[in-house]
Chains A and B, each alone.
Chain A
Amino acid sequence: MSRSAIKFLKSAPWSARFGMAVILFYVTLAVFAPLIAPYGETAIVGPRFDLWGEAHIFGTDNLGRDMLTRLIFGARNTIGIAFITTCLAFAIGGLAGLLAAAVGGWVDQALVTLVNNMMGIPQLIFALLILTITGTSIPVLIVVIAVLDSTRVFRLSRAVAMNIAVMDFVEVARLRGEGLWWIVTREILPNAMPPLVAEFGLRFCFVFLFISALSFLGLGIQPPTADWGSMVRENASLITFGDITPLLPAGAIALLTVGVNFVVDWFLHKTSGLRDEK
């Protein structure tokens, strides 16, 4: 298995390899942030908007905090929160989708109606509406976005599971008298994995961009937590002076999503053609 995994990875085109390298780099940054960063996350270590230099490679921000340090901690916070949110969205939406497809009938109808109505409101607008009332603490943010995003996961996992649920081997299991648990976990789920894994990547990108957008609007992750979206907002005024510093956190966001998208694109291309192989 491991040898075939290596062979599989070796077949990746340059774009996917680039993507994997980017992801690896970011994960390292996120995990070892306190060890790598030169200063503390919220420590004020210099004058405001200090220029790029030896002490502060990327200068300092609007409060005089080290930009590089904030960028590294930003990796940890932004990616961590987006990752937890995506996992939660998958737990809710994925499970509900598989269930709807396997059970069918009124359960399916009820879930579909609920989701369709929730999707009637654009996600960003819905999130803004809820956050107005609940405020923007990190746990609230995670739950709200996860619930909203789970509607998209639900749609996909239901559609994928529906396609599998009508196959004869699932009918065989039903006719054998297998219970719902067996049918979902042993017959449907293993075959639904490739599209769901790809969707996880895409949803992660979306959630990540979504949280960054909220933070950029000042309605997401709140200061003093280092976060890329808020960092763009806090330092945006530098742009007018032709300083590219605010583009660094924005670029950091873009680079990660590009990386993930490249990997997912390749994975989708691979798995759609080679469904039958192990």
Chain B
Amino acid sequence: MKSKAARTRGDLLLEMRGLRIEGQSSDAWQEIVHGVDLTLRRGEVLGLIGESGAGKSTIGIAGMGFARPGCRITGGSIVFDGIDLRKASAETLRRLRGSRIAYVAQSAAAAFNPAHRLIDQYAETAVLHGISSRGAAERDGRALFKRLRLPDPDRIGERYPHQVSGGQLQRAMVAMAMACRPDLIVFDEPTTALDVTTQIEVLAAIQSVVREFHTAAIYISHDLAVVAQMADRIMVLRHGNLVEEGTASRLIEAPQQDYTRRLLAVRGHRKDEAAPTVDAPVLEIRGVSASYGGGVKVLEDVSIKVGRGRTVAVVGESGSGKSTTARVITGLLPPLAGEVLFNGEVLPPACGKRSRDQLRHIQMIYQMPDVALNPRQRIRDIIGRPLTFYLGMTGKTRDTRVRELLHLIELDPDEYIDRFPGELSGGQKQRICIARALAAEPEVIICDEVTSALDQLVAEEILKLLQRLQNELGVTYLFITHDLATVKAIADEIVVMLRGRVVQQGGRQEVLTPPNHPYTDLLLSSVPEMQVGWLEALLADRAARKARGEAVMESADQ
């Protein structure tokens, strides 16, 4: 093992100057990183933040002297501890990777080899780089597993990747990166694929080992609140350029650039809570239980009421049954028991049995606008079809209405009416989906994770649009999401689901103010906040409450 004492914090470890990277798009090379400078000192954690296409992941991985297939480094220098990685031989690079620079991927489930046990994959690096013997590596692995609070640390290594849950696998990957006690670890969105309550565990694990071993790290994420917990210093990137750089606290408290300010403001948007309506609910589900193909029940006695003109958010983590609830309401999945009522009238369980008017009144918007629009139809026909189908509009009348709807969703009709979905951006596609739903003149729109596939700033715009449409048209939303920031921004009422059951439902203020059901509290407290030191405070608070003997609910994915 290398002596760490000799290397004090503060020496220059990694330096990139004028880094240029090109990416291949349909046979031609295009520059995607335009001369970025980056410096990293020993023991320092640098956060790279940006939306999709910012080049953050490409830059981070270039720090290992690596370019993914379809990418190439074309300019600038990358110097790691005095070694020029761009000029280094393949063998030199190979020796560095894994031993002195390690990598933690976004999806551990895909990045672990399905054919080998965890401990074998852990030990491979250390043995291969001649750092320790097989036995010593395994002992060290078990110790690290324990350190990272993996359950049953002595035996979990004997398992295969598919036998371990996502959050545990991600921590096992952090352990694997630590195996040779590298000088630098590149964390590439390590918690993006995880639920919020699981994310906390992984963040805590990363933070503790990085600090204990004084490892320098590049932490890549699209989520500024997460990066603020992990990084000493943050670089904000956009379209392959540096926007702003500074210490985490300076950047959060006094951002210099407009773009950074907008990223920071993302979670600030709040809606005024509407007064509860006295009318009978427009949509109601009563005692619904459901399963796929008669297997395990994914919904168990779920009842939800949705008042007219209000926004009801259904919140839950993966496997909570929130999307299944939407499928039951739309009639895609007829329930085993219970019923769906619309304006007090019981709807037939299967959508095939519902009348055209019943179908018209409940419309749906999906998570992925890319696959929710037929790529072979023009916008004119996509929005026009419900007009013809439900309202019998044709020719000029229909055309005029399509243009009105495009106006309503803030897209210029002349420019967009004849386009194909492939010629629009993600946010524009989602707007078209909204217009298509509105074309049916529905009373209720079900929004299934409508912002989760979008970049934060785009998502923000979509939420504002939905809010404006509700104010103008009085439409009712059932909002299905895992993202509590979205909930805070848009909901009047909140329904919290856990493993197929409703844990709590009530007005926004009521649900957001603890104490509540322990799961609601766990969920709410796990949402990262935009302030430095939030994670430590949260962990300290949870530890203190545990020490006092209070029941603290833990993530299902422990």
Contact = CB atoms under 8 A, between A and B. Distances in A.
Interface of A: 167-169, 171-172, 174-178, 186-187, 190-191, 273-278
A275 B376 CA distance: 10
A172 B429 CA distance: 15
A275 B375 CA distance: 9
A78 to B, nearest CB: 35
Nearest to A193: B376
A168 B354 contact: no
Contacts of B364: 172, 175
B374 A191 contact: yes
Contact of A172 (B26, B390, B421, B436): B436
Contact of A171 (B26, B332, B389): B332
30 contacts: A167-B371, A168-B368, A168-B371, A169-B371, A171-B332, A172-B366, A175-B332, A175-B351, A175-B359, A175-B364, A176-B385, A176-B386, A176-B389, A176-B390, A176-B440, A177-B351, A177-B354, A177-B356, A177-B389, A186-B377, A187-B374, A190-B374, A190-B376, A190-B377, A191-B374, A273-B26, A274-B26, A276-B375, A276-B422, A278-B422
Interface string B411-451: 00000000011100000000000001000100000000000
B543 interface: no
A169 B351 contact: no
Nearest to B421: A276
A277 to B, nearest CB: 6
Contacts, number: 54
Nearest to A277: B422
Contacts of B422: 276-278
Nearest to B419: A278
Nearest to B357: A177
A175 B351 CA distance: 7
Interface in B115-166: none
A168 B356 contact: no
B373 interface: yes
B389 A172 contact: no
B372 A169 contact: yes
A191 B376 contact: yes
A175 B359 CA distance: 7
Contacts of B354: 177
B372 A172 contact: yes
Interface of B: 26, 330-332, 351, 354, 356, 359, 363-364, 366, 368, 371-377, 385-386, 389-390, 420-422, 436, 440
Contacts of B421: 276
Given A174-B351, A176-B359, A168 B375 contact: no
Contacts of A278: 420, 422
A238 B13 CA distance: 78
A187 B421 CA distance: 14
Contacts of B351: 174-175, 177
A174 B386 CA distance: 12
Contacts of B331: 175
Contacts of A276: 375, 421-422
A38 to B, nearest CB: 47
A30 B440 CA distance: 53
Nearest to B354: A177
Contacts of A190: 374, 376-377
Contact of B330 (A167, A175, A178): A175
Contacts of B373: 169
Contacts of B330: 175
A276 B371 CA distance: 11
B366 to A, nearest CB: 5
A177 B371 contact: no
Nearest to A190: B376
Nearest to A192: B376
A207 B359 CA distance: 46
B375 A191 contact: yes
Contacts of B375: 191, 275-276
A169 B436 CA distance: 11
A63 B354 CA distance: 72
B424 to A, nearest CB: 10
Nearest to B362: A175
A191 B422 CA distance: 13
Given A175-B364, A177-B356, A278-B420, A169 B386 contact: no
Given A167-B372, A169-B373, A278-B420, 6 more contacts: A168-B372, A172-B364, A175-B332, A177-B351, A276-B421, A277-B422
A278 B374 CA distance: 12
With most chain B CB atoms within 10 A of its CB, the pick from A175, A186, A275 is A175
A169 B374 contact: yes
A229 B190 CA distance: 61
A168 B359 CA distance: 16
Contacts of B377: 186, 190
Contacts of A273: 26
Contacts of B368: 168
A276 B385 CA distance: 21
- List the 4 closest pairs (A to B, CB-CB), nearest first: A276-B422, A190-B376, A168-B372, A169-B374
A22 B79 CA distance: 55
A59 B351 CA distance: 71
A276 B370 CA distance: 10
Contacts of A275: 375
With most chain B CB atoms within 10 A of its CB, the pick from A174, A178, A187 is A174
Contacts of A174: 332, 351
A274 B375 CA distance: 12
Given A277-B422, A278-B420, A177 B359 contact: yes
Contacts of A171: 332
A273 B375 CA distance: 14
Contacts of B390: 176
Contacts of B389: 176-178
A168 to B, nearest CB: 4
A168 B367 CA distance: 9
A222 B368 CA distance: 57
Contacts of A169: 371-374
With most chain B CB atoms within 10 A of its CB, the pick from A176, A273, A274 is A176
A172 B330 CA distance: 10
Contacts of A168: 366, 368, 371-372
Contacts of B26: 273-274
Nearest to A274: B26
A171 B422 CA distance: 19
A191 B373 CA distance: 12
A4 to B, nearest CB: 13
A195 B46 CA distance: 46
A186 B420 CA distance: 15
Contacts of A177: 351, 354, 356, 359, 389
A276 B375 CA distance: 7
B419 to A, nearest CB: 9
A9 to B, nearest CB: 16
B93 to A, nearest CB: 30
A177 to B, nearest CB: 5
